Amino acid sequence: MKYRPLPDLFRTFLVKGTVNVNTSDIYGSTPLHFAAYHNYEEQIEILLKYGTDINARDNLQERPLDTAKRHNSFRCIALLKAADRTTVEHIMTFIRKTMLRDKTFEEILRGLPETIISSCVKSPQDIKTLLQLPLNLKDFMNYLLESYYTRSPKYSFEVDSVTFDVNNIVTSLCTQIRKYYSRFEMSVFPSGSMAEGTKICRPDEFDFILCLDKLNDITDIVMADNSMKKGFASLKYKNIPDVDEYLPFTDADGYFLPILFLRLFSEYLKRALNEPHLWKKGNFYNLMLIIFAKPVFTFDVYWFGFVYKQLKISIDLVSAVYKRGWWPKNIDVDKIPLISSDIKAAGCFLTLQTKGCQISLNNSHCISRTCNSEDNDDELAENVADCSCSCTDMPYEVIAK
């Protein structure tokens, strides 16, 4: 169910095909489990009509109704409850509370509106009223944390497995790229909420900073006045005669040109992503295309597991250099909120970036300009050799603006 099945097509497939609606995968998940996981109410109705087992249990000993609750599939919960003969007590509770006009927390979640008209909100109380939230918000919040917080012990074993496999595939990709071209020798730094342990939803977004060790060793950081105001720094080679292999990425003044370097990196990354041997371990499948922006290299994979039946995971890679203890000279580090002596000593990453918010790694604009050029043309600004700054030490991320 990578793509949402069309109800009519799905029904025809069940009618005309030789299909066992109660078949299961290696994790014990049936089609009804998958429909509940994805919140596909139309498919739930069709499967129920064709005799699917409402009480089938996966390897977690969970029924489809349990899967729907676990993954917030509110549209499917009512359908599965109505079809589940073992939930008479729940139904009676529902009727009793409805008559008393006292909604359960689960009903409140299912009834939340998709949008709220901003003109209707004049105070925080208006939001509470429009969402029909209970008077006792503390109990409601505790219910949400106990029921849906994915870092609970009930979930953590698979969250740890997903994290391990993601870290492993990124490290393997970097090792493979280095085999293609020694200039891309990289140290991998996990970043973002997954690395911090602060993500409370599905483990579906991972961020990594790839520190280019060789480039770091042969360059110095330069902050020109015209770039510093916008939060950019530049890399200048220490000794041009010693960097012959970097000449294709060097301008006439000895500055590093990130756009050309990133174009080459993108080609090697695409090549590495298509190496079959890198995907033989772990629970990943269905690699998606790379997207370029800002410039972040993004690719998607699908995880197939017990808890997360079919989880789409986005992995972001950012190329950078790192010089320990360096901070932009236009920043008063001591005034950064929550700064500590360890963070101050660690310094910043310099992410390889251009002045443009978006870059195209396939265009062929003139690249004769450097960070010292005075130019307000946004279209050509992407060719300027600049780097933006972000804090190396998590859980903080400081951007020099």
Q: Which of 73-82, 253-262, 386-395 has the lowest mean pLDDT?
A: 386-395
Q: How far is 374 from 381, CA to CA, in rounded Å?
A: 10
Structure confidence at residue 154 (pLDDT): 63
pLDDT in tens, 303-334: 888 888 888 999 999 999 988 888 888 888 88
CB atoms within 10 A of CB 263: 19
Q: How far is 308 from 180, CA to CA, in rounded Å?
A: 34
pLDDT band at 105 (very low <50, low <70, confident <90, very high): confident
pLDDT in tens, 240-275: 756 677 888 888 888 888 888 888 888 999 999 989
Q: How far is 148 from 63, CA to CA, in rounded Å?
A: 17
pLDDT at 38 over 50: yes
pLDDT band at 171 (very low <50, low <70, confident <90, very high): very high
Asked whether the bond before 190 is cis by omega within 30 degrees of 0, the reply is no
Cβ neighbors of 175 (< 8 A, separation 6 or more) are none
pTM of the entire predicted model = 0.72
Query: Mean pLDDT, to the nearest integer, of 105-125?
Result: 71
pLDDT in tens, 186-205: 999 999 889 888 887 789 99
pLDDT in tens, 232-249: 888 888 877 566 778 888
Top-ranked range on mean pLDDT: pick from 31-40, 127-136, 197-206, 254-263? 31-40
Q: Where are the domains of the chain?
A: 7-148, 153-391
Contact 389, 350 (CB under 8 A): yes
User: 153-391 — its CATH code?
Assistant: 3.30.460.90
DSSP-derived pairing of the beta strands 386-391 and 348-353: antiparallel
Which of 354, 356, 347 has its CA nearest to residue 377? 356
Q: Which CATH number fits domain 7-148: 1.10.3720.10, 1.25.40.20, 1.10.1740.10, 3.10.20.310?
A: 1.25.40.20
Q: Which of 70-74, 175-179, 290-294, 304-308 has the lowest mean pLDDT?
A: 290-294
Q: How many residues does the chain have?
A: 401
Structure confidence at residue 152 (pLDDT): 59
pLDDT at 391 over 50: no
